[in-house]
Chain A
Amino acid sequence: MNAEKPWVLIVDDEPQIRRLLTVTLEANNYHVLSAAGGREGLVLAAQHRPALVILDIGLPDFSGQEVLRRLREWSHTPVIILSVQDDEKGKVTALDAGADDYVTKPFNTDELLARLRVALRRSTKTEEAAVVTAKNLVVDLATRCVTVGGKEVKLSKIEYDLLRLLARHAGKVLTHRQILQEVWGVGHENDTHYLRVYIAHLREKLESNPESPELIFTELGVGYRFMATDT
């Protein structure tokens, strides 16, 4: 993995952000390509096949959503969205359309780098681990056994399905819609209250302090993220 520096494509119309990101990423062992608009970004993505794309969803020529849609027609390259604070709807739309993660402006560089690493690792991982470990939680996907600090925890079927879904996508944001569709099935996309109730159950059973969760994080108005493992 370290043998070759991965290529990252930045698509943002603000030159200052592009410059800053370029400096930061290059200092952290990435090759950087940058594009000021969606068209240029798509062309660069097609030519250079970058390992990851950082995409601003407020682009002047056509929207980041459109770039994402076109990119996803032919590529599975992980995409991290840059968005502003009050655009929950935009984030959810982008995530549902196949974006892997999002970072809200103004962002913290450490956080961005962490997200970048998780996304890259997830995209290069070929086979799924049979056991997911996070803090003192161990989820054995083969035997469906869940232990906290070595002690087995009894989960209901839905609780387990929910945990498995989150754990298998550790580090990645899953939108409400994605989770509801996966666990409860098509037609339950808007039953957010199911999710709130079951996440509360899970936290109660798994978190050492449910009041400040360390395993399952809430992305307000967007979805949930399971703690990134192996970091």
Chain B
Amino acid sequence: MTERDRPNPDALLAALQRDEARQQRGRLKVFLGMCAGVGKTYAMLEAARREFAAGRDVVIGYLETHGRKETDALAEGLPTIPRRQIEYRGIQLSEFDLDAALARKPKLILVDEFAHSNAPESRHPKRYQDVLELLNAGMDVFTTLNIQHLESRAEAVAQITGVTIHETVPDTALTDAEFELVDLPPDDLRARLAAGKVYLPERAATAQDRFFRAGNLSALRELALRFTAEHVGQDVLAERRAHGTGTPWKSGQRLLVAVSASPTSASLVRWTRRLAGELHAAWLAVYVESTRTLSDEDQARLAKHLALARELGAEIITTTDDDVVRGILRMAREQNATQIVVGKPAAGRVTELFRGGSVLNRLIRESGQIDVHVVRAEGEKFSSRPIRQENFWKIDFRTYTSVAGVVAGVTGLNAVLDQFVGFYALALTYLLAVVVLALFVGRGPVFFAATLSALLWNFFFLPPRYTFYITNFQDGMMFAMYFIVALVLGQLTARIRAQQTAERQREQRATALYLLTRELAESPDLAQLLAVVIQQVGKTFSADVALSLPDESQAAPVTNYFASTWALSDKEQTVAAWAFQQRQAAGRGTDNLPASEGLHLPLVAGARATGVLSLRFHDAPPLSPAQRDLLDAFIRQIALVFDRERLRDTETQAKFLAESERMGTMLLNSVSHELRTPLAAISSVASGLRAAGELNSAQKTLTVELDEATRRLNRLVQNLLDLSRLEAGHLRMNADWHDLRDLVRAAVQNLGGILNRHEIKIDFPPDFPPVKLDAVLTEQILVNLLGNAAIHTSAGTNIEFFARAEADQLVLRVADNGPGLPAGDAARLFDRFQRGPAAVAGGTGIGLSLVKGFTEAQNGSVSAENRAGGGAVFTVKLPLTKLPPVPEEKE
């Protein structure tokens, strides 16, 4: 009834695409438990046995039974993929063998312990990534998972049990998964525990009592139950949204969480994701990049937070603003956010006052319509030191020494000037020095310079000299004002300079992207385009660049483009190939094969990858978020251009083909016309003579001969034209329903006098159905086979034609009583210009090659063999289309 009740077309499309992707992708079924020991593996095996009994192709990929007999017994009889043995630092590890599983490609594969971390140097750091690859390859997967290993629940579990969880799985890995909750009442579990039925690693034995307390178990159980219920709820919601029943986005809410390098951000992100889940709202994570440069450690942490947000399903937005509050609010308004989530500040009040009011207060004051959530910061296990301070006070001794040197130099100058001017004027010299310094150094050193110069001025020049005492009020005021002016001026200058730097960087990024776009647009051909890509990416990111393109010979998925500045090693080549096939970034800084030397990014446009761009950075530190954004923008741009280029190529090719086909057809038609017109004239003369009457018998015979020769020549012309059509690939199939008997009659009629010397036996079963084939091609097949038989056998022998409609093919046979096939390769018979030794004059050696060509054009096959009683038999098999129903009628 209202706009909101109608299914949104986008939502419908999304649901459709999801369904489609789901159909191609395998299905993931997760046996979820509240903790170890509830019997997940057992339940999984039971389900697998049922599938196996139903005849499905079930294979155990990886199973951890912990030596439990009942579980082992259940696994018996199911085919198993052997584990991969890895030796790592002298320890023998056995892991799930992903490649073997992909090669075996069962319908359903069991992979226990979804949250497991793989041995180092495996393809993926985590097992869930292996599973995702299996799903992408179209296999269904059964797996097991404990609620505490779920990223969004890990923290809650840690709070309940006091045990920190390290192996977690992002919630996005479970999108579209089906859950089966394996539930066990806490008391039963404790009983099993007491009976020693639950395997626990030795080191965990001490934690056992703490972890398996009844209170904990109930809480965990509730978590697991609630998660399952929520998931079911989401499915229902998705269903409703697709079918337009019920309300879509319940709230129309859009959450925005401010992410920073602060360790508290991770918990903020999780909190927001939970709220978004409950509200069924979309959410975004915003990082406001300021002019401050982040330490490598911060950089890495920030990247982790953003990755976490992405994994949990947020939309990631990076913006630049020196004022964090302004940046957040700008993004909130641009993105129509209705609620903002920020952390409760841990910093002291002093800096806040200094910065013109608390960040929080300003945010609340200026947010207007938008709600602001202030969430208690958690997860400060690593460091509680505010990063801002750390950076602000980070001491670069060289800079400070030079600053001190400059101030000392100015003091020396002032000592000289002191003789000519008053001590107030000297303050201005100091001030000038501070401002000039601010143009070159950061805010810390400027602060230092202002303080130092104020003290030196006081000490050396302010009476009483060589003391820090100030005796009269005027001097005191002067000193205080100098100090404040120097500080403010210095800070302002430094800030302006920092802003300029940031502005310059932004501009550089924009320019780089612009340059790339322009160069790509101006490249006249693909080779130039590729050169531009390699050069621009290499220059912008100071990296060696390799471009891998799909291999047309199909020997490998991709090959290294020759103009690359980085020759990929075999190992890197494999990584690039993987990135291409999976359409995912791989290599350094990613979750896929992170041990690689370079970063491999697939160029994805639409549903397929057009290539892989590999970068080996010259500098060690990872890319900043801004650089990573720029790289992503580059990749998108390049992928688009590649795709456009590919489309253009295809189009040109299609046009070219169509044109050449048109020309070919025109030429053939013209040749056909030219050759047939004189034939028509001859034939017309011959028949005209006969029709004029009054011919003696010799003259009559001559006209018959003339007629026969014309027919033969006409057939030859026909064959030659057909051959050129076949050669040029210009055969136009025109399959329709025909009575095969009509075709045989037409062929016999076409051959005319040649067949007069033989007896033709035609064998059709009664009620032979109409068949679907190309009449022209099939008639030519019959003409050539029958003609061939007539030419190669002596007069008076039989030629037999036989047709049968079998289950799914039409079998035609032409048999003769002649000398049979020449010794040698029977298949060579069908080669062009092969003539049988016994052939009487009259064959050109192209008839059988046409038979083969025309049969194959109709997806059939032809063979030749000798008959038992002498003679040859040619068999043509054509696919048989089932006759569609013909409406019955009453008599």
Listed in ascending order, the chain A residues whose CB lies under 8 Å from chain B are: 14, 16-17, 20-21, 23-24, 27-28, 58, 84-86, 88-89, 105-113, 154, 156-158, 191-200, 211-212, 218, 220-221
Residues of A within 8 A of B745 (CB): 212, 218
Q: Report the separation of the CA atoms of residues A16 and B678 in the bound assembly, to the nearest whole angstrom.
A: 8
A196–B685 contact, CB under 8 A?
no
A110–B691 contact, CB under 8 A?
yes
B775–A20 contact, CB under 8 A?
no
Residues of B within 8 A of A196 (CB): 737-739, 770
Min CB–CB distance A156 → chain B (angstroms): 5
Residues of B within 8 A of A193 (CB): 737, 770, 772, 883-884, 886
A20–B677 contact, CB under 8 A?
no
Min CB–CB distance A120 → chain B (angstroms): 17
Q: Report the separation of the CA atoms of residues A221 and B774 in the bound assembly, to the nearest whole angstrom.
A: 9
Confirm or deny: B889 has a beta carbon within 8 angstroms of a beta carbon on chain A.
yes
Confirm or deny: B346 has a beta carbon within 8 angstroms of a beta carbon on chain A.
no
A106–B679 contact, CB under 8 A?
yes
**Chain A binding surface SS class:** helix
Determine the residue in chain A with the shortest Cβ distance to B707: A108
Residues of A within 8 A of B776 (CB): 86, 88, 221
Please name 12 further chain A to chain B contacts, defined as beta carbons within 8 Å, in addition to the given A89-B734, A197-B886, sorted by A numbering.
A16-B681, A17-B681, A20-B688, A84-B676, A106-B684, A109-B687, A111-B687, A193-B884, A196-B737, A198-B886, A220-B746, A220-B779
A88 and B889 in contact (CB under 8 A), knowing A109-B691, A113-B691, A220-B742? no
Q: Which of B673, B679, B737, B738 contacts A58 (CB 8 A)?
A: B673
Residues of A within 8 A of B692 (CB): 27
Listed in ascending order, the chain B residues whose CB lies under 8 Å from chain A are: 669, 672-673, 676-685, 687-688, 690-692, 707, 710, 714, 718, 721, 734, 736-739, 741-743, 745-746, 762, 764, 769-770, 772, 775-776, 779, 883-884, 886-887, 889-891
Residues of A within 8 A of B743 (CB): 220
Residues of A within 8 A of B672 (CB): 84, 86
Residues of A within 8 A of B682 (CB): 106
Q: Report the separation of the CA atoms of residues A108 and B710 in the bound assembly, to the nearest whole angstrom.
A: 11
Min CB–CB distance A28 → chain B (angstroms): 8
Chain A to chain B: the 6 pairs with minimum beta-carbon distance, closest first: A196-B770, A109-B687, A106-B683, A193-B737, A218-B742, A106-B680
A221–B684 contact, CB under 8 A?
no
B688–A17 contact, CB under 8 A?
no
Q: Report the separation of the CA atoms of residues A198 and B679 in the bound assembly, to the nearest whole angstrom.
A: 37
Interface hub of A23, A194, A198, A221 (most chain B Cβ within 10 A): A221
Q: Report the separation of the CA atoms of residues A88 and B743 in the bound assembly, to the nearest whole angstrom.
A: 14
Residues of A within 8 A of B718 (CB): 85-86
Q: Report the separation of the CA atoms of residues A58 and B671 in the bound assembly, to the nearest whole angstrom.
A: 12
Q: Which of A84, A89, A107, A211 contacts B683 (CB 8 A)?
A: A107
Determine the residue in chain A with the shortest Cβ distance to B713: A106
A105–B688 contact, CB under 8 A?
no
Q: Which of A16, A191, A212, A218 contacts B746 (CB 8 A)?
A: A218
Residues of B within 8 A of A156 (CB): 889-891
Determine the residue in chain A with the shortest Cβ distance to B764: A211
Q: Report the separation of the CA atoms of residues A211 and B760 in the bound assembly, to the nearest whole angstrom.
A: 13
B691–A14 contact, CB under 8 A?
no
Q: Report the separation of the CA atoms of residues A58 and B762 in the bound assembly, to the nearest whole angstrom.
A: 37
Determine the residue in chain A with the shortest Cβ distance to B676: A105
Residues of B within 8 A of A111 (CB): 687
A106 and B770 in contact (CB under 8 A), knowing A20-B681, A196-B739, A218-B745? no
B688–A23 contact, CB under 8 A?
yes
B679–A105 contact, CB under 8 A?
yes
Residues of B within 8 A of A28 (CB): 691
Residues of A within 8 A of B891 (CB): 154, 156
Residues of A within 8 A of B886 (CB): 193-194, 197-198
B677–A105 contact, CB under 8 A?
yes
